[in-house]
């Protein structure tokens, strides 16, 4: 019984490997011209803004519907959690945590001229 299963697996593997080998290679992606790419971005900007506005409207309707359903069911409506956007790197100094020890920056340490001798 085990030999039949092993043989079936071997046949399936060979058939799938031969089918995979016959697939054509993917077409190379041509490099984009920076000027053409910038023009495409400018052309697509109004459509992107419209899509963003539609998405925001749909999200607002979903939130209002959820809150109305929660009120109708007599359950407390959860308060929205504020989402903090991460600051750009280097925009604001990072303050140490209270109670944390300050670490001095490492001084220039030169490597030893020769490896230590074994005794």
Write down the pLDDT at residue 115. 67
Return all residues near 80 (Cβ < 8 A) that are at least 6 apart. 63
Q: Taking 80 as the threshold, does the pLDDT of residue 75 lie above it?
A: yes
Taking the C-alpha atoms of residue 118 and residue 9, their distance in angstroms, rounded to an integer, is 58
pTM for this predicted structure: 0.42
Report the range of poorest mean pLDDT among 5-19, 20-34, 52-66, 95-109.
95-109
Q: Which two tokens stand for residue 32?
A: 């984009």
What are φ and ψ of residue 23, in 5° steps?
A: -70, 140
Write down the pLDDT at residue 1. 59
């Amino acid at each position: 019984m085990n030999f039949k299963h092993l043989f079936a697996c071997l046949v399936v593997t060979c058939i799938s490997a031969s089918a995979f080998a016959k697939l054509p290679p993917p077409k190379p992606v041509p490099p984009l011209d920076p000027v053409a790419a910038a023009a495409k971005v400018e052309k697509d900007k109004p459509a992107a803004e419209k899509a963003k506005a539609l998405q925001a409207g749909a999200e607002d309707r979903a939130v209002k519907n959820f809150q109305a359903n929660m009120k109708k069911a007599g359950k407390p409506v959860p308060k929205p959690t504020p989402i903090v956007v991460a600051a750009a790197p280097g925009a604001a100094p990072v303050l140490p945590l209270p109670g944390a020890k300050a670490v001095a920056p490492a001084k220039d340490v030169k490597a030893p001229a020769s490896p230590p001798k074994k005794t």
